[in-house]
Amino acid sequence: MDNVITQANPHTSTAPKITLIPSNSLLTETPEAGRQLAVEMARLIIKLTQPDEEKRKQIRATYGNDAMMLIAAGQTVATEFATIAAANNYWHK
Amino acid sequence: MDNVITQANPHTSTAPKITLIPSNSLLTETPEAGRQLAVEMARLIIKLTQPDEEKRKQIRATYGNDAMMLIAAGQTVATEFATIAAANNYWHK
Amino acid sequence: MDNVITQANPHTSTAPKITLIPSNSLLTETPEAGRQLAVEMARLIIKLTQPDEEKRKQIRATYGNDAMMLIAAGQTVATEFATIAAANNYWHK
Amino acid sequence: MDNVITQANPHTSTAPKITLIPSNSLLTETPEAGRQLAVEMARLIIKLTQPDEEKRKQIRATYGNDAMMLIAAGQTVATEFATIAAANNYWHK
Amino acid sequence: MDNVITQANPHTSTAPKITLIPSNSLLTETPEAGRQLAVEMARLIIKLTQPDEEKRKQIRATYGNDAMMLIAAGQTVATEFATIAAANNYWHK
Amino acid sequence: MDNVITQANPHTSTAPKITLIPSNSLLTETPEAGRQLAVEMARLIIKLTQPDEEKRKQIRATYGNDAMMLIAAGQTVATEFATIAAANNYWHK
C-alpha cells in the first residue's frame, strides 16, 4: 500500500494491507466512541507510514517526553475528530 | 487503550481506561463552558499519550516558558473549540 | 483550573479562575470586534497555560522578534476567527 | 491594544489602536480582492504583535529566504482566505 | 507543471504532467476508500514537489523514524480526508 | 503590494502587482483542475512574499530534500483545496 511519501511497488511489496478505518464507518454511538475513533485513525496513518512495530515503540519512547510532539499529536486528533463529529451530526438526537 | 503512536496490548496492558470526553457530550450551557471543554479534551489526549503524571508535570515546566509550545497548545484548543462551537450551533438561542 | 498539559489539584490550587471568553459570547457587532475577540481568546489560553505575567512578558520579548512565532500566533488567531465569523454568520445583515 | 501574549496596560500604553480588518467587512467584489484581504488580515495580526516597523523589516529579510517560514505564512493566508471565501459564499452570483 | 515554490518553464520543462487526483473525483464507495484517497492525494503533492523517486526514497528513510514528521504527515492526511468526507456527505445512505 | 510581514510603500515600490488567483475565480471544471488551482494559489502567496525568482529557486533546491518542508507544503495545498472544493460544491453534478 502507498504511504504519504512513496508508492508501493506492486511487484515487490509484501506488506499486508492495513485497514485505515476500523469497521469502515465514521459513525459511532457516542462522542466518546467518536473520540476513540479519531485517535485510532490518527494512529493507523502513522502505522501505514512506519509499519515496523519495534521502530514505532522506540519513536513513542522519545515523543512521550517531548511537549511539542504531544501537542502536535493532539492537533491531528482534533482535526480527525472534527470530521467524525460532523459525520455524526454532533450526536444530536 | 491505544494512543496515537502505539497500540495497547490487551494481554499485558494494565493502564486504566481514560475517559476522553467528560460527560460524553459536546453540548455545554455557555460558550465559556464550551471553551473549558476544549481545553479539557486537548488535555486528555495528551494524558492518553503520556499517562505518567510526574512526566507531564516535568514537561509542563518546560513548555510553560517556551513561546512556540504555548502558541501550538493554543492552536489545538482553537481546533477543538471549533468543533464544540459548531455542535452547540454557536449557542444561538 | 486545568490547562492543556496538567490538571489542577482542587485541594492545593489557589490560582484564580480565568475567564476564557470575555462576556461569555461569540457574538460581536462588527467583523473588527470579532477579530479583536479572536486575539483575546487566543491570548487567554496562553494566560491559562502560563499564568505568571512576568514570564509572559519575557516570552513576548523573545517571540516578537522571531518570524516563525509571529506567523504561528497568526495561525491561531485565524483559526479562532473562523469560528467567531461562522457564529456571527459572517455579519451578514 | 492587547496582542496574543500580553495584555495592554491601559495606564501606560501609548500605542495607537491598529485596525485589524480594513473597511470592517469580510465582503469583497471578487476572489482576487478576497485573497488580498486574507494577506492583509494576516499581516495586521503580525503588526499587532510586533508594532515596531523597523523590526518587522529585519524579520522579513530573514524569513523571505527561509522555505519553512514562507510555507507557514502561506498556511495562515490559506486559513484566513477560507473564512473570507465562505463569508462571500464563494462569490457565486 | 508548477509546484508550490517555483513555476514550470513551458519552454524547457520536460517533466511529465502528474495527475494529482486519481480518477479525477473525490467520490468513493466507502470511508476506507476515501481514507486511501486522502493518503494518495497527500502523496501526489509531495511527488509534484520532489519528482525524483530516488530522493523521495531517501527522504522517507529519514522521516519514517522521526516522530514529528510522522505526526505532521498524519495532519496533512487528516485535512485531505476532511474534504473527501464532506464531498461524500460522510457516506450517509 | 503588501505581503504578510511588511506593507508596500506606495511611493517607492516598483514591484509589479502579482495576480493571486488566476482567472479570478475559484470555480474549475474538474477536481483535478481544482487541485492544480490549489497548488497555484499556494505558490502565488510564496511569490508575493519572496518576489525574487532566483532566491525562490535556491529555496526550492533546499526544501525539495527536506521531508518536513515537503509535508508542510502539502498541508497548505490541502487547506487551499478544501476551500476550492467547497466553492465547487465538490463537483457534484
Cα distance from A4 to chain F (closest Cα, Å)? 9
Question: Which of these ranges, A23-32, C67-76, E24-33, has the smallest mean pLDDT?
Answer: C67-76
Which one-letter DSSP state was computed for residue E89?
G
Contact yes or no for C1/C16 (Cβ under 8 A) = no
Q: Which three cell numbers stand for residue A72?
A: 502536535
**Which residues of chain D make contact with B74, given a CB cutoff of 8 A?**
4
Tell me how far CA of residue A32 lies from CA of C4, C12, C22, C63, F57, in angstroms: 19, 30, 29, 37, 48
Q: Is D37 at the interface with chain C, CB within 8 A?
A: no
Per-residue pLDDT band for B12 (boundaries 50, 70, 90) equals low
Q: Is A48 at the interface with chain B, CB within 8 A?
A: no
Do chains C and D have 3 or more beta-carbon pairs under 8 angstroms? Answer: yes
Q: What is the rounded distance in angstroms from the CA atom of residue D59 to the CA atom of residue C63? A: 11
Q: Is F68 at the interface with chain C, CB within 8 A?
A: no
> Which of C77, C81, C88, C91 is the best substitution to test chain D (most D C-beta atoms within 10 A)?
C77
Residue D14 has pLDDT above 90, yes or no: no
Mean pLDDT across B18-34: 97
Query: Which residue is it, cell 463552558?
Result: B33
Q: Which three cell numbers stand for residue E6?
A: 517555483
Residue E66 has pLDDT above 70, yes or no: yes
Q: What is the rounded distance in angstroms from the CA atom of residue C65 to the CA atom of residue D58? A: 9
Q: What is the rounded distance in angstroms from the CA atom of residue F81 to the CA atom of residue D81? A: 11
Per-residue pLDDT band for D11 (boundaries 50, 70, 90) equals low
**Which residues of chain B make contact with D5, given a CB cutoff of 8 A?**
67, 70
Q: Which residues of E6-40 are buried (b: 16+ CB within 10 A; e: fewer)?
A: beeeeeeeeeeeeebbeeeebbbeebbbbbbbbbb
Residue A77 has pLDDT above 60, yes or no: yes
Q: What is the rounded distance in angstroms from the CA atom of residue D57 to the CA atom of residue F78? A: 30
Q: Is E68 at the interface with chain F, CB within 8 A?
A: yes
Q: At what angle do helices E53-63 and E67-87 cross, to 10 degrees?
A: 110
Report how far Cα E37 is from the mean position of its chain's Cα atoms.
Answer: 8
Residues 6+ apart with CB under 8 A from C4: A71, A74, B39, B42, B43, B46, B73, B76, B77, C45, C49
Which residue of chain D is at minimal alpha-carbon distance from B68? Answer: D5
Per-residue pLDDT band for F46 (boundaries 50, 70, 90) equals very high
User: Pick the residue with more confidence: D93 or C91?
Assistant: C91
Of A31, A39, A77, the CB nearest to B25: A31
Residue F11 has pLDDT above 80, yes or no: no
Which value, in Å, is the radius of gyration of the alpha carbons in chain A?
Answer: 15
Q: Which three cell numbers stand for residue F74?
A: 502539502
Q: What is the rounded distance in angstroms from the CA atom of residue D45 to the CA atom of residue D18? A: 9
Contact yes or no for C39/C46 (Cβ under 8 A) = no
Average pLDDT, chain D: 88
Report how far Cα E90 is from the mean position of its chain's Cα atoms.
Answer: 20
Of A57, A65, A91, the CB nearest to B26: A91
Residue D6 has pLDDT above 80, yes or no: no
Share of chain B above pLDDT 70, in %: 87
pLDDT in tens, C44-72: 999 998 899 999 988 888 888 888 889 99
Do chains B and F have 3 or more beta-carbon pairs under 8 angstroms? Answer: no
Query: Which residue is it, cell 509572559?
Result: C56
Mean pLDDT across E27-56: 95
Task: State residue A29's pLDDT score.
Answer: 98
Task: State residue C16's pLDDT score.
Answer: 62
ipTM of the complex: 0.91
Residue A47 has pLDDT above 70, yes or no: yes
Q: What is the rounded distance in angstroms from the CA atom of residue F14 to the CA atom of residue F16? A: 6
Report how far Cα A6 is from the mean position of its chain's Cα atoms.
Answer: 18
Contact yes or no for F63/F70 (Cβ under 8 A) = yes
Q: How many CB atoms lie within 10 A of CB A75?
A: 24
Per-residue pLDDT band for D1 (boundaries 50, 70, 90) equals low
Quick check: F74 and E75 CB within 8 A? no
Task: State residue B19's pLDDT score.
Answer: 96
First vs last C-alpha separation in chain E:
38
